[in-house]
Amino acid sequence: MGLLAGTAAMIAVSAMACQYALLRLAVPGAISTAVMTGNLANAVLSAMDLLTDRHPLLPHDSTPLNRSLGRLFGFLLGCVVAAAAASLAADWAWSLPAALAAVAIAVR
């Protein structure tokens, strides 16, 4: 991936994070539009709330930091497992998620 593509990807990630943080701050009860971006934004906003004494960013009933971090670590672990599977199984790495999706559709 070239420098311009990497820069564009990071700008997109930053835009998603800003969009979600703005949504959480402007409309606290709004439904999430981006799950992983939301989890990351919740973790960062919760951490920022811990660092400030005067003006909390989030309402008191918002997601606590430990729940946000657990979700982020779970996502990171999933990414590591997927990367290891892609490295070990090469082109066949897609077969397990596809099979699980097929089973979920069949069971439903």
Could you tell me which of 58, 29, 34 has the C-alpha nearest to residue 45? 58
How distant is the alpha carbon of residue 11 from its chain centre?
Answer: 16
Each residue's pLDDT tens digit, 56-100: 666 665 556 777 777 788 888 888 888 888 889 888 888 888 888
**Distance between CA atoms of residues 42 and 49, nearest Å:** 10
Count CB neighbours of 39 within 10 A: 21
Each residue's pLDDT tens digit, 31-48: 666 677 677 777 777 777
DSSP 29-97: TPPPS-HHHHHHHHHHHHHHHHH-SS--SS-TTSPPHHHHHHHHHHHHHHHHHHHHHHHHHGGGGGHHH
pTM beyond 0.75: the answer is no
Each residue's pLDDT tens digit, 15-28: 877 877 877 788 77
DSSP H/E element including 28:
none
